[in-house]
A = this chain, B = another copy of it.
Amino acid sequence: MTDQNQTIPEGWVHYISMSPPCLNNNTADVDRLTAQLKQQLDVRFIDMDRSLMILLPEVLRKSNFNVRCVIFGYDHYYYLIDVQPSSDCLPVYGLAIDLGTTRVVLRLLDLSDQTTITETTIDNPQGKIAPDVLARIHYTDQTGGLAHLQQLIIDAINQQIQQMCLAHCIDSKQIMCMSIAGNTCMTHLFLGFPPQSIIREPYIPVINRQMIFPARDLGIEIHPQARLFVFPNIGSYFGGDLISGILALNMHQQDEISIMVDVGTNAEVVLGNKDWMMACAGAAGPALESGVSQIGMTAGPGAIERIKQDNHSITWQTIDNKKPIGICGSGFIDLAAVLFQSGMLDIRGKFVPDQCRDKLLNINEIMHFLLVPEKISGTDENLTISQVDIDSLIRSKAAMYTILTTITKSVGISLTDVSAFYVAGTFGAYIDPSSAITIGMIPDLPLERYQSVGNTSLEGASRVLLSRRDIESVSDIQKHITYMELNVNQEFMNRFSAAKFIPHTDTTLFPSVKV
């Protein structure tokens, strides 16, 4: 890992004063400036585009060799992006992007005072073509498919840049560096890399290591010399968004062991501290996403996000207090916890008719639990959860717990050794850890160890725009991680079977859960 005691000048905006040339000191302009930068900033090599070299003689002489330089890069690869007279220059901005499959978040930062100017969230426009990773990769099998998907996201980013700049009276040419963190597939589509091998055995990305190159090469309309930093991947199923998350949480710098979980279609898990890091990914989430249960939906107005037991009745709360129209992942976990604790679900996750009584409806020979009667539902229909939906949730929670057990056991520690449990993403923002513990989805740790950490991908992407030390850490983090292939072997299946009970066959693992 990067030595944290090493003092390197932080940030990307630097003021440089040089002695003007004379007969006894006739170093060339480019060489004079880079020598001074190298010394002042403690870097080994600084490159710049020819187009910037062309401008240099005039800027240096106009400023009497006192200039503000904007650099960006890492390792051997530092680039000089912009040089202006110190006394006369506009602010410098950076753009951080969290490139999600569903949503894209852009954050505009002022690099001089390190403040956020604005942030905006848009749907990933590729979603209209193909909703998920698999469908998008299949779409690239068509002629022109990849180029089309790439153009959609580039255009959308350019449009957002324009709008943000317009709203804040900023010249987009003052955006001088940019970072992007996404999962492996989204990163490939953004870069125009053929993604087919990602989903076909043996699951090979085009590139894992981080990249830096001119943003103009992708047609992104910011400063002509602006550089774009792309977070590295660990592999096909562990992308730059997670590396960025680890950076944001400083997991790679801590003495204590922490764990980060990001749940989407897959659950991605990383465990470790400053000395080691272990990662894995596995299918664990389907039941928690929209489209699996009949009334499942992503978190949005009218989604039941919270369910509690109040004496003998079940109360729910919707997003924006709208009439309920469905249930999102956090609500579903709450519901299962409440049903279990009130005895309406047994330890196998089956409805208990004696306890559910008139809430239990038989629809086409499948038992359904009536959550919201049609009279008060936003859809004018009953909102029900079926036994099939519950079974699916049980499999998801069992998979999640098994993954967590497997990754900790692989390094010889217990889940209780984990000092902080970070739950990332929108899922993390809504889930109630006590409900998730009750159903045995996550380990029975003191609640204060659970932290909902929000959009860590965007946070990490912002960090590299503000800190040289942080960008230098990224490749260290990547190299530092051991990726564990989750082999679904007999041992895994045994653990999975044991975890399919609520909270678990071994109830001593969940002392806080009253069965």
Q: Of residues 56 to 93 in A, which have CB atoms within 8 Å of B's CB atoms?
A: 56-58, 76
Asked if A57 contacts B485 (CB within 8 A), the reply is no
CB pair B203–A29 under 8 Å, yes or no, is no
A57, B192: Cβ atoms under 8 Å?
Answer: no
Q: Mark interface residues in A220-238 (1 if CB within 8 Å of B CB, else 0).
A: 0000000000000101100
Q: A31: which of B201, B208, B236 is its contact (CB, 8 Å)?
A: B208
Q: Please, how many angstroms separate the alpha-carbon atoms of A438 and B488 in the complex?
A: 92
Q: How many residues on chain A are close to B (CB under 8 Å)?
A: 40
Residues of B contacting A27 with CB < 8 Å? Answer: 204, 208
Chain B residue at minimal CB-CB distance from A20? B202
Q: Mark A47-61, 1 if CB is under 8 A from B, else 0.
A: 000100110111000
Which residues does chain B contribute within 8 Å of A388, judged by CB atoms? Answer: none
Tell me the dominant secondary structure on chain A's binding face.
Answer: loop
Q: CB within 8 Å of B: which of A215-254?
A: 217, 233, 235-236
A445, B161: Cα distance in complex, Å: 71
Once A31-B208, A50-B217 are accepted as A-B contacts, the answer to whether A26 and B193 lie under 8 Å apart by CB is no
A418 interface residue per 8 A CB criterion: no
CB distance from A140 to the nearest CB of B (A): 12
Which residue of B45, B194, B235 is within 8 Å of A54 (Cβ)? B194
Residues of B within 8 A of A217 (CB): 50
Instruction: Select the residue from A201, A204, A205, A485 with max chain B CB neighbours within 10 A.
Output: A204
**B26 pairs with A202, CB closer than 8 A:** yes
The yes or no answer to A191 lying at the interface (CB within 8 A) is yes
Distance, CA A336 to CA B23, complexed state (A): 37
Q: Is A213 an interface residue (CB 8 A)?
A: yes
User: A513 at the A/B interface (Cβ < 8 Å)?
Assistant: no
A371 within 8 A of B: no
Instruction: Assess A202 versus B23: contact at CB under 8 Å? Given A45-B76, A50-B217, A54-B192.
Output: yes
Task: State whether B31 touches A209 (Cβ < 8 A).
Answer: yes
A28 at the interface (CB under 8 A from B): yes
Chain B: minimal CB distance from A450 (Å): 32
A30's contact among B21, B29, B203, B209, by CB below 8 Å, is which?
A: B209
Residue from B26, B196, B202, B207 in contact with A53 in the complex, judged by beta carbons closer than 8 Å: B207
B197 touches A57 (CB 8 A): yes
Chain B residue numbers with a CB within 8 Å of A202 are 21-23, 25-26
Rounded to whole Å, the gap between the CB of A307 and the closest CB of chain B is 42
User: Closest approach, in angstroms, between the C-beta of A80 and any C-beta of chain B?
Assistant: 12
B-contacting residues, A277-329, CB 8 Å: none
Q: A53-B193, A76-B45, A192-B54 are in contact. Are A206 and B26 (CB under 8 A)?
A: no
Question: Quick check: B56 and A206 within 8 Å, CB to CB?
Answer: yes
CB distance from A211 to the nearest CB of B (A): 8
A133 to chain B: closest CB distance in Å?
17
Contact check, A28 vs B213: say whether CB atoms are below 8 A apart. Answer: no
Contact of A204 among B21, B193, B196 (CB under 8 A): B21
**Residues from 119 to 137 in A contacting B, C-beta threshold 8 Å:** none
CB distance from A205 to the nearest CB of B (A): 4
Residues of B within 8 A of A26 (CB): 202-204, 235-236
In the complex where A207-B30, A233-B28 touch, is A192 in contact with B23 (Cβ < 8 A)? no
Bound CA–CA A58/B235 (angstroms): 19
- Chain B residues lying within 8 Å of A30, measured Cβ to Cβ, are 206-209
A57-B197, A194-B54 known; A206-B28 Cβ under 8 A: yes
A490 CB to closest chain B CB (Å) equals 18
Cβ of A191: which chain B residues have Cβ within 8 Å of it?
50, 53
5 shortest A-B CB distances, which residue pairs?
A: A30-B207, A28-B208, A28-B205, A23-B202, A76-B76
Q: What are 27 A-B contacts with C-beta separation under 8 Å? A: A21-B202, A21-B204, A23-B202, A23-B485, A25-B202, A26-B202, A26-B204, A26-B235, A26-B236, A27-B204, A28-B204, A28-B206, A28-B235, A29-B204, A29-B205, A29-B206, A29-B207, A30-B206, A30-B208, A31-B208, A45-B76, A50-B217, A53-B193, A53-B207, A57-B194, A57-B197, A57-B206
Given contacts A28-B206, A29-B207, A45-B76, 8 further A-B contacts (CB under 8 A): A22-B202, A28-B208, A28-B233, A29-B205, A31-B208, A54-B206, A57-B196, A57-B206
